[in-house]
Structure 1
C-alpha cells in the first residue's frame, strides 16, 4: 500500500540491436547452379542473440547463414534475415544464359534461288540482357541480330546458326536452322542429240533425266505432234508422220522445266535402173552420210582384193618349163606335127626350131595370156638365122604336100583356103 504523498521511481532500460548481411548490398547476383551463401551479422546487441530466422520466396529457414543452390530463374527474389525485432534483407538476382529463337520459326527455312534470305535472331529471355549476336553460315560469320543474304544460289544451302552472348562467362544462347534452297528441275534427254534419227516402223525410246531438283520432281509430261503423254520415258513406234519436235516438261513444287529435241523419221525407197541393178537411197540428210560410209567401205574392200591378187603365188606352166629345159640343154630342137590333108590322107611335116638362149626374168612362170607381137613388126630374111632373137623358125614342106596342093588348085578354094595359093618359100627365116 502506497503512502499518500510518496512518489515511486521506475527505471526503463532501452534495448539496442543492429544487424546486416554479408555479402553486403541491396542486390546479390547468383549464377544458375551456383551455391549462394549469405550471413546475418549482429552489429550491436545488449542482449544475447540466440535465434536467426530467414525468409525467401515464401519459405522459412533457420540459422545465422543462409545457403542454397540456385537451380532456376525462380530463385530470384527477396531474402530477409530477422533477429528479434531487427531485420536485414537483400534481393537475389539469378543470372542465366540467353534463350533465343529464329524468325521465321522453323527448323528448315525454305528460300528459292535468286531470292533474298532474311532471318532474325530473337532473345526470348536473358539475365543480364544480350549484348552480342553472331551468325555462322557455311563457314562464314557475321554479326547483328539479323542475317541477310541477297540473291541466294544453290551453294547457300546448309546450316545457319545464331549465337547470343550476355557476358559473365555464361554459356551463350544458340539457335539454328537448315537453309533449304529450292529450285525447279534441271533436266536433259537421254539421247543428248539435237535430232533423233530413226527408221519408220522402229521404236523411239527417250528418257527425261533429272540432273538436279529441289524438291524432287512430281510429274513428267511429253508433247509430240500435238499429243500429250505422261511418265519419265517416252516410247513410240514411229511412222512417217511422226517427224517433228518432242519435248519433256518436269515439274516440282518450285516450278517446271522443259527440254526438247527433234525426231527425224527415215524412209527407205527402192529404185531400179534399167531393170537390172536395184539402188537403195535413204531420203534424208543423215542417210547421205550413211551412203558415203558404205561407198568408202566398198572402196577399201576393192583395194584390199587387188593387193591380194598381186601378192598371190603365180601359176606354174609345166609345158613351158619342159620346153625351156630342152632348149637350154640342146640349144635347138625339132617339133613334129601331123597335117591332115584335104584329100583325106596325112603326111608328116616338121618344123625345125633353132633356139637361142634369151634372158627371161621368170622363165618358169606365166601370169596370164601370152601376148604376141603384131605381124607388122616382124620381118623376113633369107638365109641362116643368126644374132640374138627369140627363135629361128625354118619351114619346109615335102614334095607330097606340094603335089597335093597343085591338085587342089583345080577345086574352087574356100575363104579359109585362099591363102594356100600363095607361093611357098623354102629356107625362109623369120626374125623378130
Structure 2
C-alpha cells in the first residue's frame, strides 16, 4: 500500500513511488525504406482507446502544415517531393500531435545542369570552371564530363572541371553525366566559345610568280581570330605611315619603286597581331624577279 505524504498544499508524493506510463500517437511508414515510384503508406496509431471516439479520423501534417484528413495516408506513387517530416493528430484534438516521423525518399539523379564561372565572355588564357549540379538521394557518387568533338568525346571526371589557362582549342559543347546507386542522368549541353586575338597572321600575293613592272598585284592578309578581325592595316618596311587598310591591298601599274617588304596588322577587340614581312621584287623589262 502506498502511503501519501503531503509536502506542500495541494501536492502529494507517494512512498515508495508511482510509475505512470503513457502511450502516445505514433506515425509508422511502410515500407521502412522508400524508393521513388513505390506505394507508401503512413499509418497513425495509438494503444489508447478514445472513449468519446473509438474510430477516430486523423489529421495529417507535413512539415507542420495540414496536408490530409484520413485514417491512413497513401502516397502512390511516392515522389521526391513527398519527402519531409510527418505527424498526425486525432480530429478534434489537433493540439496533441504525434512525434514527427521523417519520410526519406531515395531517387536517381534529376535536374542535372552545367554552369560556367565566371559568367560572361571567355577569353583565351583565363581561368574557367565548369560545375555539374544534380538533385539526387543518395547524393551523386560519380561525375563524368564529355566534350563533343566531331564524332567522338573526351572524358573528364569530377564535379568540377577547371581550365587554368583556357585555349581556343577548348571551344566546344560540354555536358556531364552523373550517377548514384539509383540511376544515372545527363545534363543538356553548354557551349563554350573561347574568344582570342588574331593568330597565324600571314600575307599572300596574287598573281603568284614573277612581278613585272606595269602589272597589277594584290596582297591579301589572313588571320585566325574570334571574334573575326575587324581591322586590317598594311605597312611597308622603312615607311613610317601605313600604306592602306582592308583585308586586301592592290597595287596597280606597279613600278620598281614599289619593291620592298610588306606586312599587315590584324586586330579585333581582344588583341592585334602582325604578319611576317613578304618581299616584293618588281622586275623591269629585262630583269628577272626574285621572290
Is the Cα–Cα contact under 8 Å of residues 249 and 259 in structure 1 kept in the other structure? no
CA distances 1:397-422 after superposition (whole Å, capped 9, x unpaired): xxxxxxxxxxxxxxxxxxxxxxxxxx
CA distances 1:135-161 after superposition (whole Å, capped 9, x unpaired): 112312121233246776654432222
Which residue does the alignment assign to 2:235?
223
Which residue does the alignment assign to 2:104?
93
Is the Cα–Cα contact under 8 Å of residues 27 and 87 in structure 2 kept in the other structure? no
For 1:62 and 1:170, how far apart are their aligned partners in 2? 37
CA distances 1:237-288 after superposition (whole Å, capped 9, x unpaired): 33332222222222233431314322323334xxxxxxxxxxxxx1x2449x
Which residue does the alignment assign to 2:217?
205
Q: Which moved more, 1:123-132 or 1:60-69?
A: 123-132
Distance 1:105 1:182, change over 3 A: same
Task: Pick the structure with greater CA Rg.
Answer: 1
For 1:71 and 1:107, how far apart are their aligned partners in 2? 36
Secondary structure class of the residue paired with 1:222: strand
Is the Cα–Cα contact under 8 Å of residues 29 and 40 in structure 2 kept in the other structure? no
Residue 189 of structure 1: how far off its partner (Å): 1.0
For 1:192 and 1:37, how far apart are their aligned partners in 2? 85
Out of 39, 54, 67, the position equivalent to 2:43 is: 39
For 2:97 and 2:277, how far apart are their aligned partners in 1? 93
Which residue does the alignment assign to 2:88?
81
Q: How does 1:301-380 map to 2 (within 5 A)?
A: none
Is the Cα–Cα contact under 8 Å of residues 167 and 194 in structure 2 kept in the other structure? no
Is the Cα–Cα contact under 8 Å of residues 107 and 177 in structure 1 kept in the other structure? no
Paired residues, what number?
A: 251
Structure 2: gaps of 5 or more residues: 1-19
Secondary structure class of the residue paired with 1:87: coil
Aligned CA-pair RMSD: 4.1
Which residue does the alignment assign to 1:291?
none
CA distances 1:155-193 after superposition (whole Å, capped 9, x unpaired): 443222233444432646667442536352433314385
Which residue does the alignment assign to 1:157?
171
Higher relative contact order (CA 8 A, sep 6+): 2
Which residue does the alignment assign to 2:194?
180
Is the Cα–Cα contact under 8 Å of residues 132 and 176 in structure 2 kept in the other structure? no
Q: What TM-score results when the alignment is normalised by the length of structure 2?
A: 0.65
**More helix by proportion, 1 or 2?**
1
Structure 1: gaps of 5 or more residues: 1-13, 269-281, 288-432
Secondary structure class of the residue paired with 1:241: helix
Out of 187, 190, 206, the position equivalent to 1:191 is: 206
Which residue does the alignment assign to 1:132?
142
